[in-house]
Every structure is written in structure tokens, then in C-alpha cells.
Structure 1
Amino acid sequence: MSILPPDAVSDADYYLGARDDAIAHTIMAEVPVILSLPSKKNKQQTPQQAIDEFWTKFTTKAPGKATTVIPSNEYAERVARRSSKAVGTTTQASYDEAAAVCKAKVAKIVKECRRVNQKYRDPHFDLELDLKWGDSDTLESLCNTKGERKSNSGFHPKSVKRVTDIFDVPKFYIDGPTANDVRQGRDGDCWLLAALCTLSNKPSLIERVCVARDEQVGVYGFVFHRDGEWISEIIDDKLFLTKPDFDESVLERMLWEDRERVDSEEQYRKAYQSGSGALYFAQCEHANETWLPLLEKAYAKAHGDYQAIEGGFTGEGIEDLTGGVTTELYTTDILDKEYFWREELMKVNDQFLFGCSTGMWRPVWGERKGIVELHAYSVMRAVEMDGQRLVLLKNPWGKYEWTGPWSDGSKEWTADWLKKLDHRFGDDGNFWISYDDLLRKYQAFDRTRLFGDDWKVTQIWTTVSVPWTLDYHDSYFAFSLAKTGPVVLVLSQLDDRYYRGLEGQYRFELNVRLHKKGQEDYVVRSIAPYRHTRSINVELELEAGEYTVLMKVNATRDLDILPIEEVIRNYARDRRDKLVAVGMYDLAHSKGKLTETEEEKQAKKAAEKRKKDKERQDLKKKIMEARRDRYYMEVKQVNKRKEKKEKAKAKLQAKKATKATNKLAAKDEVKDVPEPPKSPDQTSSSETEKHVWTVEPTASAEAPEASGDVPDSKPDAETTASAESEKKDDGELSSKESETKEGSSSEAKPDAPEVADQTTAEEQKIPEEETEEDTSDESEVSSVSDISERELDIRFRERADTPAPPPPPGPAAATEEEDEFESNPWNAVATVGLRVYYKVAEGDKEKEIVKLRVVRPNPYARKDKERGDDEKNKGEGEKEEGNDAEGEKKSKGLDVDDSSKDATLEGDREQRKKSILSLVSP
């Protein structure tokens, strides 16, 4: 006999109380109950508990980052497949590939345009359509500032014309591209123009960027370096102008027609819409030279719009135009100024390119002796002659020069010096300054190393979740170097300028530390830059061997910036074209897309199997516990019924004895009392009738006690109470017990014959039924049997297919206020890549000198504690591998100048000293 409810579906459901929960949910749904829940403020916690709870809610439980903003972007998947492996190539190979693609694009466009007799119009960056319709997609970036819907770049060009309509005799180059050509327009891209000035000092650098063109068709192709590889960009020849068209400006036309002219419109065009001076953005000094505004337009298109290229650093611009590597140097950090002069500045335009700037510690516009604060300058030359160390600088504005010693017209200049340095006075932005004044007046230098055909590069990207605490990550890079030689290591993050507005709330700063395998001491670590966050690098001579590169990424959050998903929601309806234009986000993030290695796949399968086995064992344990609990309760109920029946039996036997005594006494009384006179009808029947009553058999009811000749028809109260109690305990009655109860409730019939015989038969029958029923109860209590594997599989599948019950509805007033960190937790995820540049001999270009890989913790590998005693049962060759990333980081998480390191050291003073100095291996 089971005590489970009849609609129970399984042992596990009984154990877990699923039915009770369902009943409770139904009651709560039907009868609203107002509960008074304690407020969080009233919650009693120790200070440590409060801190632990805060940090638990501070960081997200599901870290991740959006990698695609355009739905079903198949191009991003292709890039991900191509970037999954690190393959070494020469620095020239990537450029050659991009240049070939760019030339092919231009050739195809030229062929198409000539076929239909039309000039090229760029459908992806149409300045004229954008200006006429007022979209500003080519001018302004997506706005991701809270509370604002528009970027408000401040750009207000008035018209758009083609190059052939602006310039009388347009020429892409006039005497080649030079620094003197550069004039900054209304865009804040002085850093880019300073980089172009710097490039002009080294022949063919700018020509390498401007790959292909057809002036007649109006199509131009350029290449730029982005995130470790070259890309191509195609544009048409439309440019923004500062003045409106003659027919579209009533005021301008009225002012211009204040007197008679032969052709007012043509005169207006020549005055306001002709030559370089009419351009809204960058312009060449020569009135008919066009290379600079077209290159600036291509660079703006590559990044989405003109606003995206506002603000930057000269070194980053030089990197984008040359594929070099820029190091940020600070004047106060230079250790040996002699070495810096001889080995670095004196090699400008050869191995290095230089830019300089000032005002980095005081972000306000100003001027100090002609030097503009917060402004970038190009280092054009460095000479040492006649005991003088002089540096030639260029202001990309084409004006505003240094007014101190060696400035134009200063007393230091003589005719001889003007001839030696080939210098001309004039406010053209070119000026000389002494080396000492250069170090005093400029606070930062951007030094860019150039790579020739004798350099190769290997790179790989990955994505890491950045914790709030600053430490070296468990994920790191490892590479092997086959030959000793100069190496440049570059750790970079994605250039978010290419997807301005979708960069998100987090800003990342990078640090690296290089270790040789088997040594605790690091070889070198990077110096975190103050301004350049896009990448960091170190240059050194390395011996052949195995190396690891630990990375430390620092994240800061700006809550005034909207997250990516909100920006997309804001502009998906009305700025689709703009979102597609900044879809370079998808291509960029596909580089760091994590793909499972074969080892990770196997570990994942093993982890899933372990999880499934554990869930099966837990389910089996719950089912068996439920069965044992049920068996215990059933046995208890059977014993309880037995006890009740034994008591009822004893009471019945006592009453039988009482009845027998009463019957004998009644017979004696009948004999002593005289019979009353009988009527004739009664005389015949009374002789044969006897005064008897019928007692139905029952286990709980008693025969009525005789009181004279009138039997009591009511059942015994105590017996009835006992029966009712038993009904409540058992929950159900057997068929015989039900019949007995019905019989006991019927009225007694005094005229029924053969009372004595029936009573005797029933009284003799009762003990037999009780014995049989007791045996039946015992037989219904089955023993606890173990669950079979087949049954366990069925239960396991049913459990997996059964959805979890919904939470009970509750009043809104009872809901606790959500914690601000719980609703918007820390979720910083960065995509970073390592590039390894190494110099190779002519015969080694085809050899694989560097093998690079990413080592990250296997999320499916078992930890030491989880393996437990399993390792003890395995042989020496069967030991399960631990977590390589975790093992590498254990002894290398702290820098030598981190005071926390002292607390981690072990041993006596001498041993601790050796550990700090890394004189012994770990």
C-alpha cells in the first residue's frame, strides 16, 4: 500500500516535492497573498559579507562581447577562418597583396565607367547625395553619448564638386608629394597631416599609399595599414567646398550681382569655388595639386567619416601609412640623451620616422614662443655640424613657427648657415630648433620603426575577458625563435577608430612581459604609454629558444557612453547605411574569434560526460532516497494499523465475553417472568418465534447491549471514532472494511431469526478476516529495490525534457530593488593580437623562423581538486595534464617592483633574495 498521492509521476518528484510546489503555486495564483519581505537595508550582514556580496554582483556571470553588428555577415566568417592560424610572411607581402587588389578594383571600375560613358560615383561614400539630403553620414560618426542623438561635429560644408570642376588644370602630383604641399583644413587631423609631412621626407613612401588612379574617370585607389595588415580603399573625385553653389545661395548671389558683370556665375565660381583654397578640408599649397585632399578623403572613408579622423597621434598616422611600429617616448624618460641623438634622431628618414608634440599634461590651447599646445609636428631633419645640433620641424598648418633661437630671422642665422642648411625665411611652418630646446619645449616623441624586405612578421589574435582587478592574464602568447637576431614584439588591440560610435564603454591599456622558457626572471617588459593605447612594443636582440609573452590589460569604464547594443537600437531604423558603413567592426572582431582546438574539443566532451554522469548519479541518489523514505513510511503505516486492529480485537473479545454473560442473565430473567395473555393470532406465531437481533460482522463495531427486550440500534461511539481515525490515517478502506462499516450503521432487527447462530458465526469469522488483512498489508509493502540502468535512462531523459516550473507570481511591492551593479555588471572583453617582427637573411625568407600560438586556460579541463583521487589510480604515463596557462602564471603574476611580491616569497633571507634576483630557476 503506497502513501504517495495517486497522481505522482515519479519517485524523484515525490522526493523533490514537485506536486506540493505545484499546489502551492496554484493557491498563490488563486488567492493573492501580500507578503512583507525584508528590505535589503534591513538585512543584517557583517562588513565582510557585504563586501563579498558586492563583488559577487559587480562582475557579470556571463562575460562576452558582440562580435557582429550586421546580421548574417558572411564576410566576417571568412576573415575568422583566415586569421585562425599564425603564418609568417614578409612585411612586403601583405602590402603587395593589398596593392594588387586595389589596382584590380580601379581597373574594373574604369572599364565599367567607360562602357556606360559615365564618371565614377562612389555609392558607399557619396558626398553630394549626403550633403543634399542632409544625412551627414560622410561627415559625422554615430553618436554613443547618453542623452544625445547627434554627434555635432561642427562641419558645415556648403557644396560638393568634382576635381575637374574645382581645379582648372588638376594634377595629382606637382613635383612630387612634399611636406610643403600640406595645408590643414577644417578637420582636426593635424596628426595625420603631420604624419604625411614626415613621410614626404623619405622618397616613395607617399606614392606607396596612392596606388592607382584614373583622373578622367574620377576613381582613386589607396592602401592603409590596419590591425597588422594592409587594406585597400576606393573613392571618387568629389570634394567638399566652403562656399555654396551660385544657384543655391540667394544671399551670395545678391551680394555678387551688386554690379554688372560679364558672367556673374563664372566669376563667382572662380573666386569661391576654384583651386585648392576653395576646399573645405585639407588642401595642397599649389592651386592645382590634388593628392592630399583625395588621400584625406580615402582615409576618412576607411574610418567611416571625416569626424572619425579628428584627434590622434602622429605615430599612429605613420603606422597606418607605412606599416611601421611606433614607440611613444617621453623627454623626461630618456636615460642617455647622447645615445638618443646619435642612434635614433640622427637616423630619421632612414630606419625611423619621428613626430613630436607638447601640451600633453595641460589640455588647453595655447602658444609658447610660437609652439602651439596640443598640436603635432613632424621631425624633418636632424643635423650636426660646426658644433651645433639642429632639428628641422614642420607645422602641418603651414604657419605658426618657433620664435626662439634658430627661428627665422634670429641672430644665430648667417648667410653661411642659410646656405649650409638650405633654409629660407618665411611663415611657411618650417623652422629649425636646437636639440636642447627641442628636449625642453616638446614633451613627447613618436618614433616609428620602418621595416624593409629583410623583415618578416607573424601574428595571431585572441579575445580575453578583462577582470576589474589588474593582473597578468591566464591567457598568454607563446612563440619559438629558430635563430638569434633582432626582434620587435607588438601587442595591439583593435583600432576602434574604424568603427567610431560602436567602441563601447570600456577603454583598454596594454602591458606585456617577455619570459624565456624555464626562467622565472622576465627578459623585458613594456612601459605603459600615457597616450598611445592602440599598441605597445619592445625591441631587443633575442637568442633562439622558447618564449612566453604575458599580457596585462587594464580596463576603465565610461558610463556616459552607450553600450553597442543600444547604439544599434537607436540607429537601425533611420541610419541603416551608416551602420553598414561602420560594419568594419565585424571584420575587425572576427580576427579574435575563438575556435576550439582538438584538445579543447576532447576536453569538452570529457567534461560533458562527467557532468552527465554526475547528474545521473545525483538523480539515482534522489530516487533511491525517495524509495527508502516511501518504504519507511509504508512500514510505519502498516504497523500502526496492526496496532489499532489488535486493540480493536482485544476490545471485541472483551465485549463478547460481556455479551455472553448478559445473554445468560437474560435467559434466567425470562424464565422467572410470567408470560402475558396471548391473542389467538399471536399464539400460533409466538410459539415458534424467538426474540433475536442480527449483528453484522465488523472489525470495529460492537453488538448492541441488551436492555430488556429492546436492542440498542446505535453503534458503539468509541468503535466509530476508531474507524474514522483509521480512515484518516490510511486514506482508503478495503472492500471488506467498507461493507463492515455499512453493516454496522444499519438498524438492528429484533424480529430477525437465529440471532445466536448468526452471532456465533460472525464472531468466529472476525479473527480470520483480521488475520488475512494483516497478511495482505504486509505483502503490499515491497522491499527497496535498486533502480536499473534502463529505468535510470528513462527518468534522466524525462527530467531533461521537463521544463522547470515558473516562479510563483508575487506582488510588485514585495520585489526587492535590483542592485545597480547587478543590473549593469562589469563586462570588459578585449580583442588583442601579438605581432612578432624578426629580421631574416636572404636565404631564410622561406623558412619558418617563428612559430606563434595562443595559450589559454581550458575551461573544460579538471582542476587538481576535481581530479582528486583519480590520479592516484592511474599509472605514471596516464596522468591527466593540468592547466598550462595557470601553471605558467603561478610564479609570474607579480613584477619585481610590485611590493606584493615580497609576501609571496618563501625561504630564508638569502633564498628570498635569490628569488627576487632570479638567480635560481623556479
Structure 2
Amino acid sequence: MSVLPPEAASEAEYYLGAREDAMARTIMAEVPVTVSLSTKKKKDQTPQQIIDEFWTKFTTKAPGKATTVIPSNEYAERVARRSAKAIGTTTQASYDEAAAVCKDKVAKIVKECRRVNQKYRDPHFDLELDLKWGDKDTLESLYNRKGKKSEPGFQFHPKSVKRVTDVFDAPKFYIDGPTANDVRQGRDGDCWLLAALCTLSNKPSLIEQVCVARDEQVGVYGFVFHRDGEWTSVIIDDKLFLTKPDFDESVLERVLWEDRDRVDSEEQYRKAYQSGSGALYFAQCEHANETWLPLLEKAYAKAHGDYQAIEGGFTGEGIEDLTGGVTTELYTADILDKEHFWKEELMKVNDQFLFGCSTGMWKPIWGERRGIVELHAYSVMRAVEIDGQRLVLLKNPWGRYEWKGPWSDGSKEWTAEWLKKLDHRFGDDGNFWISYTDLLRKYQAFDRTRLFGDDWKVTQMWTTVSVPWTLDYHDTYFAFSLAKTGPVVIVLSQLDDRYYRGLEGQYRFELNFRLHKKDQEDYVVRSIAPYRHTRSINVELELEAGEYIVLMKINATRDLDILPVEEVIRNYARDRRDKLVAVGMSYDLAHSKGKPVETEEEKQAKKAAEKRKKDKELQELRKRIMETSHDDHYLMTKAYYKEKEKEKAKAKLRKKKAAKKLAAKKAKEAGKSSEPRDETPVPKSEIQVEITEPTAPVETPEASDAGSDPKPDPQVTTPEESEAKKDEQSAPEETETKEDSSSEVKPEAPEVPDPPTAEGEQKAVEEQGTTTENEQKTAEGQKAPDSAPPEKQQEAEGEEEKTEDESSDDESDIQSVSEISDRELEIEWKKYTAAQAAARAAAATPAQPSLPAAQEEEDEFESNPWNAVATVGLRVYYKVTEEDKGKEIVKLRVVRPNLYAPKEEEGEDGKDKEDERDGRKSSMGLDVDDSSKDATLEGNREQRRKSIMSLVSGDA
């Protein structure tokens, strides 16, 4: 949001920006208006697939947020450890501790300065050095808008810097105490802060509690402010910005001033332009020598980083920062009982409550309406009811511009008696009376701040949550126990990003919450979402003792015109180191509060989850290795037996050739014999038979039919035929022998049992190549299968073929693979994890584009996905008696989803088991006034009605 400088109606633009933001909000978190589900529809994709793919790319898969921007920031770690546990303290004790620290700081600085005889100069917020060098670190925030580097509308142009003692002739911190009449706004658009100061001035000692220590001679001042639920101290020197340059450095002013001769022109120039409250560039007191207001404004600017950071805001936020109270945003149109609002709230102003009011909620204009300035904040000073008249005294922090209607200065309603009753005097000083009726008609919003005294304690805790694009109650929630029935104020807040302007990031968050009693679906109370205030929301109520949970619903809005934190750091790391360090330190300390600190139980659960994950992956790895081993072993064994079958066939062929050769040799020897040839038929037992293929039994003469000639068997070779074919077989034999010898290179095979004995005999025959006659007779005597009669040979070959088939197809013959040992598994696990790491590293390395850059289409949501992360805190204020102050009335904790718990399977009732946790968040997601809830109801009409009315706990 932006704000115009005071000369252009001060903070008017800020309220305009707030109004526009409120108008632009929708139920769902905002996304850019240029959203398209797909730049180019892919082929074979359904509309649902396109939408699913879009949402997959839209949200980041690894949500997170930078919690530190300063390298090696050990201070942030300390804050994180301190904030890990919620401890209840009285609201006064928190203030007293910060005030004591502030006083000690001032005392130490005073002692140090007196030792060296020098006034204090603040090295962390040095206005003079900043102005002379032109850095403007004390004036302007880090710029984080896309486009130009700076925004002229926000630039301040003070001309010089002077110490308080050089500006004021007789400076005094207070003159008759701090009052609302002291307040005059300068050139900063912080009317909301000044309106808060005007409001505080009505209650004695409130402003004095902010200014806790000072030494005006040394020039050091100490202040305390309430930030993010606790008090913090700020130390400043007494240097202030002026509107006019020094006499020696001026050009135009000195020329105009010396248009005539003057006595001591320089001194006259100083008195005219650089003396008194009127010479100050920013806020000033009405009295020419009073200094508390400009110094307090400077301290507040330093706390937030610079003067620009405090431009634009809401009065209630300023009152919270100055008092530690809790502000509620009220809208005139929402007030149910205006009588109750008058009697129980407005009439208690300056007692239990402080009030501010503002205009211009809905109209995008600024200006003036019967004296009331639009888009402007006012202070409620008093509320009285006299003689039937209900009147309210308001204060314009500008010190001018007043209401011109009934009961305004000089109106007909005023009489001398009324002037005396109300102790009022006319004058354009910004103070004016208005009737209660006109107040509700002319002002659209009120900031009501509840004040806490010594009888109140507070317990708080912070956490960080990832905010989804869809709007629903978060899985992370707060739970607290209340030991005593009584009034309670519950505040859900987020970090005040005003303290680290420029590093707030692209996301803006709006908070809502619901309070439930444990084990009850019906909520006790629900927060009312404000239109303007986003820093915190709260409810006030009377609570019974018991266990409660606070469900959070956070709405995130993204502004893509704002640079993310990491880009701002890159832009300013070289050029504005000092500024980045100061703002970055504030950023780190704030975010360290919500940094999750693992409990001992969570650490143990994490270790157990990591062990379960590793065990599961090891089992899967073991299974994959064993499956691969079995498959490889099976394939190698099959290949081995296939090779053995080939060897068998070759051996059989060689044996047949050897038998033919032997028969031919015998026939040749028989032909050379000198004895006459015996025509006696050869007995069947002496006939040499060669079987080339399995055949049917050979028919003998006895087995043939009578009177028929026996038919020659083509498979049978006689000695004469063997001799005749000798020459024909010799040549092919040599060729085949060469081929066989060249094919005897066998692949390495696993050790398996040898095939049947016949294979061994065939292998022996193969190695011998040829066999002598005696060896042949020996083989015949051993009745080898190939030399057996045809009937026996056929049976042997059948048995052999059967054995070969079974040995090649029956997996039971394959040797089993031994189980992998734990040591082997660990070695494989190391290789596996190393391969995974290498794959991730390779994926992280940008690959060379396969297409020219102009032709590539990069998905805008995949490159810059939704990643909203908010740091939120819960504060519980509760009233206590003196005897209860030492007791722990409230115990507060953060309940996060157990990410390390094992996933449960379906239970006996068929429903998914849920993690045990406080409350029933799963059944409490939708609000009762959300029509979508009706569709989720189950059962008959009575059961659905009970579920809506929450008359029964649990599922209806």
C-alpha cells in the first residue's frame, strides 16, 4: 500500500490502498488475472487431465520460507530457543523487564559519553551522516517493486540536521506534560500514530511509560514499544531533520535572505528558518520548545527501520504498539446494540478502552465532508452524557480542520452553560464535539483497544505454517488448557512486516480462527474477519475451565509485482549493505520466533520414521536383487543346456560316421581275402548296422511273409555297400570334421550336473575321432546304445531324447540361488544411494536446451509456483487474582501433524484410521454458514440436523 506525502493530504493514499485491497478480496486466495490452465493443449489429454496437471505445477512441492537473511545469524538461533516454550507472565512484568533494560542501556551510554566528553551519536541511525552522504537509509525503505528502482512519491527531502540544543532555545522534553494539544503532524504520513498519541494523552502516565529514560545533556533517549507480543527497547540520539539547509550550504535561501543588509545575517537566518518546533521536517509539538513528540516519532521510525516505514496505518495498531493492548476493529454498520455500545464501551473510554475512529472506508476519494477529512484517522478523547445529550470529543492530529455540523465550534447548540459544563473553548485547534448520532453517521470504523493492568497475565507461542491456495482450516493448530473459569482474550496475530519493509515478500495474509472445546464439534466462538486490520484478530469472552483448541484459517493473497525476498537481497547486497543488515536483522529475529523446534518425542519419531523408510527400501532392494539373480541364473542355465544339446547332436553324428568308416574298413579287408567267398548267409548277429535316424524295427526273413522277397531297408548298410560308398564319404567327412572342430568353442556355463552316461560315452568317441576294430568290439561288448540291435537302439535313443527334453525344460534341475547376506545388501545399498545422489545432482544441473530459447515454452506456474508461508502466534490473556499470579493458569502448545507417524491401514469398520490428536479437525473443516457443508452431511434428516446444530459429538 502507498501513501501520499502530507502536502498531498498525508496518508490519504494509504487508506485508499487499504480500501482497494479490501474491495479486491475474494473468498479464495487471489491469483493473477492472467491465469490460464494451459498455453497449448496437448494431444490425447482430457480437460480433467489438463486441470490436474495445472494444479500439480501451480503449488510448490517443497514449501518453505527463508527464516534468516543475514548469514550465520546466531542471535536468531537464541531467540528461537527462547520462544520454543510458552511461559505465562503478567502484562506488567513484560513491560517492566523491557523498561529496566532500556534504562540500563541509557545509563551505560551516559557513562561512556561523559568519560570521553562527547555527546551521544547513534551509529545505527545517524541522520546527519545519512543526509550528507545521500544514502537515505534513515528515510527510505528497501524498494521491492518490479521496474524502477525508486518511487518519487515516497522520497523525503529534509535539508539539514541539527541537535535539539541547536534547534530549541530552551528545550524541554515535557511542558505541562504530554497532551493531545501538543501534537502536530509533519511531512510523514503517520497521522495514525499521532492519533494514537493523542488518545494516549487522555490517560495519565501512558505516554510517560513509553519514554522511560533520557539524559538531555548527553543527548540520549530511551523508549519502549510493544512488538509481536512483547516489549522491546529503542535508543536514539537527539539529532532531528530540518526543513531548511544550513546558512553556509544554502544557495537560493541565502540569496533571498541577503536581499538587503542585515546585522549578523547567519544568526538571523538560523532564528528564522532553523529555530523552534516550526523548523522541524517531521512531527512537532505545538509549543516552540517542547521536544517529546519529534523524539518519540524518531524512535518509532528507528524501531521500524526508517521514516517511510511508518507511513500509513491504523490508529488501533499505534495504540497497541504504545500500550501493549489489544485492538478490535468495529464497523458502524455491524453494531448490533448501539445502546450497549454507548454505555458499555464508549463511555469507558480512557478507562478500560481507548478508541480511535476513521473515515473513507469505501469511497476511493479523499477530501473534506463538512469539515471531516476523508481517509483520515481521529482520536476519541471523551464521551459524556449530560442532560440527555450524548456527545463525543474528537481530535484531529493535524491540529486543524474540524467538524462543521451540530455542536461544532460556534454552532447554535452552544451556550455559555454548555461551554462551562464541557470545559470547551472555540478555535481551529483540531478539537471538536460531535453528537453520538452524527458520530455513527459520519465515521465508518472504530478501533477499540482494550488495556491490561496488573490483574492480567498472557501466554503466547508462535509457529510457521504453509498456507495452501485453497481456503480451509489448517492442520496445524493451537491447543491450550485453562485451569480457572474467567474472562479471556484470545489473539491470533502474524508478524508485523512494517519492521522489515522491503523484505515482506509477495504474500499478504488475512487471519481467521475458531475456538472449540476439546472433543466437541460445535465451536464456542468464531473470529470476525476485519476489512482493514490484518496484523491480528481477537475475541473476548468468558470461558469455563477445560481444554480448548484454536483452528486457524489463513487467506493468502499474492502480488506478483512485488519482488521475492531473495531478489531484494541480491539487488542491495552490494549497494546498501548497512541498510540490508539492519532490516535483515529485524527480519531474522522476527521469524525466529516461529521456527519449529523439535521436541524429544518428535526427534524419536523422526528417527523411527527414517529407520522404517530405510528398512522398507532395503527390503525392496533385496527383493529386486534376488529377482534379478534368479532370472539371470535361469537364463544362463537354459543357455548351458541348449549348448549341451548341440554337442550331443554333433557327437551322435560323429559316432555314426565312425561306425560307417569301421564297416567300410571291414568290407575292404574281406574283399582282399584269397579264400573263396563263402556264399553262406551272414548271421543276423554279425550284420553291421548304421542307423542315421530313429526307425521302426528291421524286419528279418523269418518275420517276412512267406513267398515274398524281403524289402531292403535304406537305413541298413552292408559291408559291400559301405565299400562302394567309401570314396563318396571320405571327402564330406573331412569337411565336416573341420567344421566340428571349429565349433567346439563353448561359452562359460555354471556348474550343473552332467547329463546321462551316454553323453559321456559320446564325448569320449568325439575325442578319439576314430576307433580301432578291437575298440569297436569292446564297445559292442559293453552294448553301447549306438551298436545295439535296432530294437534296443531305438529304445535307447527314445530314452536319450526324453532325458534331453526333461533336462532342458524342467526348472527343478536348475540349481537354486543363495540368499543375499546382510553385508552384501549393505554394499548394494551404498551403491544405490550413491547412484540416487548422482541422479539428483544431474537433475539439478541445467541441461543444454534442445531447442532455441525462443521456441521453448516455460510454464509460468512451474517456474514460480504457489509457496505461501506465514508465521503466526497465539496470545491468551486471562484475568488472575493475587494468589493466582504464581500459578500456571494457561498451558499453550502448538499441535502439528505427525509427519513421521506410520500410515495406518483401514480399520475393522472400513474407515481410515486417523492420527490421535486433540479435537476432531477432520469433522470441523467447514463453517456452519458455508452451504457446502450441507452436501457433506450423512444419515437421515434428523441426523443431519443434529450434525448442523452440533447436538451430538462425533460423526452424525
- 1:82-481 to 2 correspondence within 5 Å? 82-152=82-152, 153-481=154-482
Q: Secondary structure at the match of 2:920?
A: helix
- Output the CA distance in 2 between the equivalents of 1:643 and 1:395: 109
- Output the CA distance in 2 between the equivalents of 1:492 and 1:442: 26
- Output the CA distance in 2 between the equivalents of 1:834 and 1:245: 50
- Output the CA distance in 2 between the equivalents of 1:709 and 1:565: 91
Mark the CA change 1:161 to 1:714 in structure 2 (over 3 Å): closer, same or farther: farther
Contact kept, 8 Å, 2:636 with 2:750, in 1: the verdict is no
- Output the CA distance in 1 between the equivalents of 2:331 and 2:588: 35
Q: Secondary structure at the match of 1:651?
A: helix
The equivalent of 1:832 in structure 2 is 872
- 1:36-75 to 2 correspondence within 5 Å? 41-75=41-75
- Output the CA distance in 1 between the equivalents of 2:776 and 2:130: 113
For 2:514, the aligned partner's letter is R
Q: Secondary structure at the match of 1:607?
A: helix
Contact kept, 8 Å, 1:163 with 1:239, in 2: the verdict is yes
Mark the CA change 1:759 to 1:376 in structure 2 (over 3 Å): closer, same or farther: farther
For 1:517, the aligned partner's letter is K
The equivalent of 1:680 in structure 2 is none
- Output the CA distance in 2 between the equivalents of 1:501 and 1:343: 41
Contact kept, 8 Å, 2:478 with 2:874, in 1: the verdict is yes
The equivalent of 2:893 in structure 1 is 853
Greater displacement, 886-895 / 137-146: 886-895
For 1:301, the aligned partner's letter is K
Contact kept, 8 Å, 2:220 with 2:235, in 1: the verdict is yes
Contact kept, 8 Å, 2:518 with 2:918, in 1: the verdict is no
- 1:719-758 to 2 correspondence within 5 Å? 719=739, 723=743
Q: Secondary structure at the match of 2:865?
A: coil
- Output the CA distance in 2 between the equivalents of 1:717 and 1:367: 119
Q: 1:597 aligned to 2:599?
A: yes
- Output the CA distance in 1 between the equivalents of 2:42 and 2:526: 49
In angstroms, what is the RMSD of aligned CA positions? Answer: 3.4
Q: Deviations over 1:351-374 (max 9, x none)?
A: 000000011212322211111111
The equivalent of 1:687 in structure 2 is none
User: Post-superposition shift, 1:659?
Assistant: 3.4
The equivalent of 1:6 in structure 2 is none
The equivalent of 1:542 in structure 2 is 543
The equivalent of 2:505 in structure 1 is 504
Mark the CA change 1:119 to 1:757 in structure 2 (over 3 Å): closer, same or farther: farther
User: Post-superposition shift, 1:568?
Assistant: 0.7
Contact kept, 8 Å, 1:474 with 1:885, in 2: the verdict is no
Mark the CA change 1:438 to 1:908 in structure 2 (over 3 Å): closer, same or farther: same
For 1:201, the aligned partner's letter is N
User: Post-superposition shift, 1:795?
Assistant: 2.5
The equivalent of 2:850 in structure 1 is 812
For 2:886, the aligned partner's letter is E
Mark the CA change 1:354 to 1:763 in structure 2 (over 3 Å): closer, same or farther: farther
- Output the CA distance in 1 between the equivalents of 2:232 and 2:848: 57
The equivalent of 2:757 in structure 1 is none
Contact kept, 8 Å, 2:634 with 2:814, in 1: the verdict is no
Contact kept, 8 Å, 1:185 with 1:281, in 2: the verdict is yes
Mark the CA change 1:656 to 1:542 in structure 2 (over 3 Å): closer, same or farther: same
Q: 1:891 aligned to 2:923?
A: yes
Mark the CA change 1:629 to 1:830 in structure 2 (over 3 Å): closer, same or farther: same
Equivalent of residue 816 in structure 2, options 772, 783, 805? 783
User: Post-superposition shift, 1:387?
Assistant: 1.4
Contact kept, 8 Å, 1:325 with 1:449, in 2: the verdict is yes
The equivalent of 1:648 in structure 2 is 650
The equivalent of 1:715 in structure 2 is 735
Contact kept, 8 Å, 1:475 with 1:885, in 2: the verdict is no
Q: 1:626 aligned to 2:631?
A: no
Contact kept, 8 Å, 1:144 with 1:561, in 2: the verdict is yes
Contact kept, 8 Å, 1:862 with 1:882, in 2: the verdict is no
- Output the CA distance in 1 between the equivalents of 2:144 and 2:384: 47
Contact kept, 8 Å, 1:662 with 1:706, in 2: the verdict is yes
The equivalent of 2:951 in structure 1 is 919
Contact kept, 8 Å, 1:158 with 1:243, in 2: the verdict is yes
User: Post-superposition shift, 1:759?
Assistant: 11
User: Post-superposition shift, 1:719?
Assistant: 4.2
The equivalent of 1:842 in structure 2 is 882
Equivalent of residue 614 in structure 1, options 613, 616, 639? 616
Q: Secondary structure at the match of 1:813?
A: coil
Contact kept, 8 Å, 1:462 with 1:831, in 2: the verdict is yes
User: Post-superposition shift, 1:782?
Assistant: 4.2
Contact kept, 8 Å, 2:521 with 2:920, in 1: the verdict is no
Greater displacement, 362-371 / 537-546: 362-371
- 1:10-29 to 2 correspondence within 5 Å? none
The equivalent of 1:699 in structure 2 is none
Contact kept, 8 Å, 1:476 with 1:885, in 2: the verdict is no
For 2:294, the aligned partner's letter is P
User: Post-superposition shift, 1:259?
Assistant: 0.9
User: Post-superposition shift, 1:667?
Assistant: 6.6
Mark the CA change 1:714 to 1:886 in structure 2 (over 3 Å): closer, same or farther: farther
- Output the CA distance in 2 between the equivalents of 1:547 and 1:434: 43
Q: Secondary structure at the match of 1:247?
A: coil
- Output the CA distance in 1 between the equivalents of 2:849 and 2:346: 73
The equivalent of 1:793 in structure 2 is 826
Q: Deviations over 1:684-707 (max 9, x none)?
A: xxxxxxxxxxxxxxxxxxxxx964
Contact kept, 8 Å, 2:549 with 2:919, in 1: the verdict is no
Contact kept, 8 Å, 2:489 with 2:539, in 1: the verdict is yes
User: Post-superposition shift, 1:281?
Assistant: 0.4
Mark the CA change 1:886 to 1:481 in structure 2 (over 3 Å): closer, same or farther: closer
- Output the CA distance in 2 between the equivalents of 1:917 and 1:42: 48
Q: Secondary structure at the match of 1:141?
A: coil
For 1:823, the aligned partner's letter is S
Contact kept, 8 Å, 2:474 with 2:551, in 1: the verdict is yes
Contact kept, 8 Å, 2:68 with 2:591, in 1: the verdict is yes
How many matched pairs?
A: 824
- Output the CA distance in 2 between the equivalents of 1:438 and 1:323: 27
Contact kept, 8 Å, 1:474 with 1:886, in 2: the verdict is no
TM-score by length of 2: 0.81
Q: Secondary structure at the match of 1:486?
A: strand
Contact kept, 8 Å, 2:81 with 2:597, in 1: the verdict is no
Q: Secondary structure at the match of 2:316?
A: helix
Q: Secondary structure at the match of 1:581?
A: helix
Q: 1:909 aligned to 2:914?
A: no
Mark the CA change 1:757 to 1:253 in structure 2 (over 3 Å): closer, same or farther: farther
For 1:897, the aligned partner's letter is D
Q: 1:864 aligned to 2:896?
A: no
Greater displacement, 407-416 / 262-271: 407-416
User: Post-superposition shift, 1:474?
Assistant: 1.0
- Output the CA distance in 1 between the equivalents of 2:476 and 2:728: 102
User: Post-superposition shift, 1:161?
Assistant: 0.6
User: Post-superposition shift, 1:213?
Assistant: 0.5
User: Post-superposition shift, 1:811?
Assistant: 5.6
Greater displacement, 156-165 / 144-153: 144-153
Q: Secondary structure at the match of 1:812?
A: coil
TM-score by length of 1: 0.84
Q: Deviations over 1:390-447 (max 9, x none)?
A: 1111110111111111111111111111111111111111111111111011000000
- Output the CA distance in 2 between the equivalents of 1:498 and 1:58: 30
Q: Deviations over 1:292-341 (max 9, x none)?
A: 00000000000000000000000000000000000000000000000000
User: Post-superposition shift, 1:44?
Assistant: 1.8
